[in-house]
Chain A
Amino acid sequence: MSGIRGTASVVGVGLSTRWEAPGRTALELMAEAVHAALADAGLRLDQVDGLLTGTAMHFLPTLSVAEYLGIRPRFLDGTMIGGSSFVEHLIPAALALDAGLCDVALICYGSNQRTASGKLVSGSEPQPYEQPYEPRHPITGYALAAARHMHQYGTTRRQMAEVALAARRWAELNPEAFVRQPTSIEEILAARMVNDPISVRDCCLVTDGAGAVVMVRADRADDFPKPPAFLLGAAAATWHRQISAMPDLTVTAAAESGPRAFAMAEMSPQDIDVVQLYDAFTINTILFLEDLGFCRKGEGGAFVEDGAIAPGGRLPVNTNGGGLSCCHPGMYGIFPVIEAVRQLRGEAGERQIAETELALVHGNGGQLSSQVTAILGTAATL
């Protein structure tokens, strides 16, 4: 056993599925998700003594969230590495729980990006060596990565469209997903180009919404109403911040975070029953399937063909519909964690994968800049 394997477990998850919430603030949406997660765990707000959070709207997010919730946590963390932050927060939460620095760790996130701006925009400060060329980040960075992957490996726009179609087909099975109407490869390929080779249908949604996750030490995990999801392995990696500083646009730091998380979990890609990846853009899914070892480098496009990651395919990926069709309120990282837990509990309804024991969650942040892999499992996998 190594690292934090099996020391902490998720015992509560909650959402605000108000993906379009005019008149509601980010904190109001987040509070709804926190309330749902605590109810799910059978805990009260005053039992939360560890807070891990971040928003794109606050200068001091952890403080704004603590004050708004009315809690006085004794463990605080506000790691901000983009959308992957809320997957990364599993790591300090598990460490703090293991060290006795807190007993109930709450990870939460909320955003009203859709209502507030309505656009897929970055809240980032301009990058001085990129801004003069007017990249429309985040989209431009991912377009450059997609163009390079296509050039180097022959990946096609049709293969990228397969990723968008698979996400939609999962969303059709998820009553909580924001966009559920059936679509087709042809319809996706005909969408308006935004940053070649990325069209509007290669981009995630822009929604409002919130999510929350409650973690406790594993030795208490049986004291809660729902089956626990144990954190078996987790690792974060970063190789750059700006897309222009990414060493190889076809290889993300998931190639580092994945193997480290698998090593800690004492598992391998073949063991994984369900995969939740941060699909801000269709190229992400292809890159991460390669970098995490589900297929070889350059073969991600072929891997997703013919509905292979859609319902009924060989590997269930983004079973909630992902950022492409379920929700994407500015940062998506907490949602794949929640979907993984629901799959492990067997409460994913029509989209439930039978006999799910092991789930992989992968978060991405910035311009493919931060990569965080977490492996969660049922009690049988401990």
Chain B
Amino acid sequence: MGTPSPFNGPGPDAEYRRQLTEGRFCVQRCRETGRYVFQPRVLSPFTGQPALDWVEVSGRGTVYSTTVVRRRPEQGGDYNVVLVDLDEGCRMMSRVEGPAPAEIRIGLKVRARIAMTKDDTPIIVFDPEPAT
């Protein structure tokens, strides 16, 4: 069985979500440079080639920036939106669950977990890394 064409069938966007549904947090890695890529793509932004391999990542990361989105209590109250740098070197938007939104600081070590949205779509959220 040959390697499936990167241009055929369900694409990387669907594949990312399929893997999350199966409980795996996978990110693409550029075959030539070894650099990790997020969001999922057909072509490596580093080489322009359709040469990206799925790799299950550690889920460890660091908060790169954070904001508290202010919201009325009756609408659910304040929540946080963060950008997390994964240890593998790519960045994604997410939220940190657990601490009060204003307590989340840039530099906080976090670990990924798969959560479900209200409409049952799996997404990555983060918890603070337990103190060691």
Contact = CB atoms under 8 A, between A and B. Distances in A.
Interface of A: 128-130, 132-136, 140, 143-145, 147-148, 151, 192-198, 242-245, 249
B74 to A, nearest CB: 16
Nearest to B123: A132
Query: Size class of B's contact patch?
Result: 20 to 34
Given A144-B81, A193-B70, A195-B70, 13 more contacts: A128-B13, A129-B38, A140-B69, A143-B67, A144-B83, A147-B65, A151-B106, A195-B81, A196-B67, A196-B102, A242-B93, A244-B93, A249-B64
Contacts of A151: 65, 106-107
Given A144-B81, A147-B106, A196-B102, A132 B66 contact: no
Interface string B82-106: 0100000001111100000010001
A134 B93 contact: no
Nearest to B67: A143
Contact of B67 (A147, A242, A244): A147
Nearest to A149: B65
Interface in B39-76: 39, 64-70
Contacts of A135: 69, 81, 93
B3 interface: no
A133 B125 CA distance: 9
Nearest to A199: B70
Contacts of A136: 69
Name the residue among B38, B66, B67, B121 with the largest chain A CB count within 10 angstroms: B67
Contacts of B5: none
A365 to B, nearest CB: 19
A317 to B, nearest CB: 25
Given A132-B123, A245-B39, A144 B67 contact: yes
Name the residue among B65, B107, B121 with the largest chain A CB count within 10 angstroms: B65
Contacts of B117: 132
Closest 4 CB pairs between A and B? Answer: A143-B67, A244-B93, A196-B68, A148-B65
Nearest to B39: A129
Nearest to A127: B93
B100 to A, nearest CB: 12
Contact of B93 (A129, A192, A249): A129
A135 B65 CA distance: 13
B66 A144 contact: yes
Contacts of A242: 93
B93 A130 contact: yes
Contacts of B67: 140, 143-144, 147, 195-198
A243 B83 contact: yes
Contacts of A249: 64-65, 83
Contacts of A245: 39, 91
B108 to A, nearest CB: 12
A134 B81 contact: yes
24 contacts: A129-B39, A129-B93, A132-B117, A132-B121, A133-B93, A133-B94, A133-B95, A133-B123, A134-B79, A140-B67, A147-B65, A148-B106, A151-B65, A151-B106, A192-B70, A193-B68, A195-B69, A195-B81, A196-B70, A243-B83, A243-B93, A249-B64, A249-B65, A249-B83
Contacts of A198: 67
A130 B67 CA distance: 14
A196 B102 CA distance: 8
A197 to B, nearest CB: 8
A144 B65 CA distance: 6
Name the residue among A129, A193, A195 with the largest chain B CB count within 10 angstroms: A129
A134 B118 CA distance: 12
Given A132-B117, A148-B106, A244 B92 contact: yes
A145 B13 CA distance: 27
B2 to A, nearest CB: 30
B92 A194 contact: no
B61 to A, nearest CB: 13
Name the residue among A143, A151, A244 with the largest chain B CB count within 10 angstroms: A244
B99 to A, nearest CB: 14
B33 to A, nearest CB: 15
A243 B123 CA distance: 18
